Chains A and B, each alone.
Chain A
Amino acid sequence: MGDWRTVTVPLLSSDSKNIFPYTSERKSPTSMSSEVLRLSLPSSKSMHSFFSAFCTEENIEQSISYIDRELTTMGFPSIYAESKGKELDLVSMVNCMNELLVLQHKNLRAQEEIEVQHLKLGSDMDHLQNCYSKLKVQKLQNVISSRATQYNHDMKRKEREYNKLKERLHQLVMNKKDKKLAMEVLNYVGRADGKRGAWRTDKTEARNEEEMYKVLLSDYEQRQKQLLLENSELKKVLQQMKKDIISLLPPQKQKPKERSEDGLVLSDQEEDIGELNKENMWELSCETVREQLTNSIRKQWRMLKNHVEKLDNQVSRGHSGALNEKDVISREDHELETGKLELEIQQCKEMIRTQQQLLQQQLTCDDDTTLLLQDCYLLEERERLQEEWRLFREQKKNFEKERKSFTEAAIRLGLERKAFEEDRGAWLKHQFLTMTADCKSENATTPSAFLRSSDTDLRLVRSSSQQKRPPSVLSTTASPEPCQISQYITQNSVASEKPAADYLPNLWVESDDKEETEECTKTWEDSGLDTLCRNLHMEQLP
């Protein structure tokens, strides 16, 4: 009904990509190929654009009229309610749509069928081409073989002719024998091995055969020996391998429980293996023993393989998320453990290293040298101790000296103080007396004056000597200098305070003195003379 033309929808240039290109390199002779409706199946994404590109709100009427035109040309009833009206006949439109859908389905099916056919034809072509090339090869081979047989036949014919000629020639040559000797020789030479030539008899023939067989036999025997050697070596290697494999595998006791059937067999095998191990391998070369050995090795190898595979699986499972928490330790725990172990290992290693070094030191020397060394160490220690003792004693002595000097100084100080007190008392007396004496009379008994003068002189001398002493005191005692200086200060202070002082100051001075001496001692102690303190500390040392 109507022409079936390819529908080219306007305004849809962008959707031309959606049209499936029907690519066929070869024109398949189907009647529908050129006339098949090339429908475009818009993809779902561009469906919206497809639809909106054609009909927009502005050109509804135009697009409807266009559709109506197309449908009517295709043979469908018009979608307008009346021939001129603008109202759409919904029923007819729905019918048209349905028809179009049915048509679409049909076309799709047809397309599929054609594609399938196309594929089939392609594979058929390939197959045929292969067959063709094979046939060609076969044909050529047949040609060659036929030519070869023909050629061989011809060759044989020619050869026979040639043989005939040779025979003829041979006869002629033999007939035409020269009378002269073909071989001229001065004298015959002896054989290389010195023996004389033997006649040809049956015996010699038999001997030849015998020798030949001897040669062959010796060769075979040699080869067999080599093979036996090789075999025994290989068997040894196999035994070794078997032992290694058995040692690698986990203990067999668990296995029989899991697989009861195989377990029995295994236990039997184990017994056999044990027997085989005991016996002398290179003596046994019969079938059954050989089979047993190879079978047992194969079994062990299979078990080892399974074991390794299991381990692999475990590891892979452990890597991938560790779902099976029971079997597999959690990753963090594992890592912690490994960290701990590594630390431990490091510590142990260091310990081992130090131990090794010590051991080496001890072991690298002989016994004598170690003893000597030990003695040396002792001697060294003793020397050191002695040195320290000496020092200690020296310091002790110094300490004693200082103490003595200090006590002397203290004693002197006391004496001087006494003297000073006496002088002061005398001076005060004198003052008092002079004051009273002035009041009383002027007569001063010369002797008393003399005495007084002498006293004053003495006093003066004393005071001067007093004043002088501190420096002399300073000069004589050496070590506790700050102490002496403080003494000097105290004495000067004492001296300076004396004239203004009264009896009370006397006490104060005394107390002062005492305090100051105490202070002095304190400072003397607290000044922390290193040596003395050290000496004191030294005393405390064991």
Chain B
Amino acid sequence: KSSVQTIGEEQIQNPYTELLVLKGHQDIVRFLVQIDDCRFASAGDDGIIFLWNAQTGEKLFELQGHTHKITAIASFSSSDASEEKKNLILTASADRTVIVWDCTSGRQVQKVSCFHSTVKCLTVLQRLDVWLSGGSDLCVWNQKLDLLCKTSHLTDAGISALIELPKNCVAAAVGKELIIFRLIAPNDESEAWNILEVKRLVDHQDNILSLVNVNDLTFVTGSHVGELIVWDALDWTKQASECNFWDSSVHSDAQPEIKLSQSPNETSVQHLTSDEECVFAAVGKGIYVYHLQMKRVIACQRTAHDSSVLHIEKLPNRQLISCSEDGSVRIWELKEKQQLPAEPVPTGFFNMWGFGRANKQANQAAKKMQETTAVYFLELVGDLIGHSSAVQMFLSFGELGLATCSADHLIILWKDGERESRLRSLTVFQKLAQNGDLQLKV
């Protein structure tokens, strides 16, 4: 029987009481990207990109140009001094092209089709006004789509993730390796751009699946076998690592359920997100909260969903949203435990199962922490059920609501019903005033 925590039909804290189904895609919708305060783009396996109004759910544009599925999408706001701010989106597709779209006109600005392999990730370096495409090599482009420079062929598998680091550096996840590149902008000495490989980090045992910036000084990586490494963003050294944190024995508050053989799928770090304090990791079906200062997992929900968690996001209000292959979206809240921490599970219990020394030490450390600091836990405050298939990603618009995309070809816009109702009233009275119906007619 599934041990997934469930919440009843009564969800007082769940604000999403209204939904809009946005139809348009004909295949799995994999990507959502925010363009500005009220617009977002969606893309997926049908190769079509849609622009939506996040408030009204109105379909703004249907962008057709790719012949294969979309593999990466990034939004890019150009800051030409001459013009007003222009919102662009970049899309990469399995047809080995990258297209730049204008979000205002819905037109294709330019198309690049000189790639040798599929571009799997796109990163915009707003500061340098360039963007990077990562496939089997790493290319640097400027806004006008001139190829500025590129690396040599790195790998056939291609770059799976790319982030910007300080000092014009980027970190690229290539298989098990993490490669740091430095971008050299034109200066007095040279007119040309250049990109240099600075360092190769080979600490991960398996493919790096997620790569995320925490702050200017730190970034985190997660791998397929559940390793989580915190890196220093300046000197690229390992600050901390957590390898078996998914293991139930580590946590005193975990249920006494032990799986001796975890399948890799259940331990892979699918997605990472962070705020200043913590890194939130979607590991298998579970969610883990890793405290950067304490260098340990402070809370977890080991089976947060019925199947793999695909995306996880932290909201400003201490809430955490996760979506999963099981088609549900869940809202969690990180809470401090009010009561005294539960009695630590006697170590003897674990010894029975013959755990190694390292684990024990970790356990000890955890216990020590518990004595001194507060204990956190993730409480399920609501779930959103609407999709009939895996929810690939979601995008939070704060007050405006939440957009989720799924393998069932749909995008659902979840909204706060109360707020929407209020807004509609406002519109009604605006319209009344406009029509002059508010005046008393004699």
Co-assembled chains A and B: no
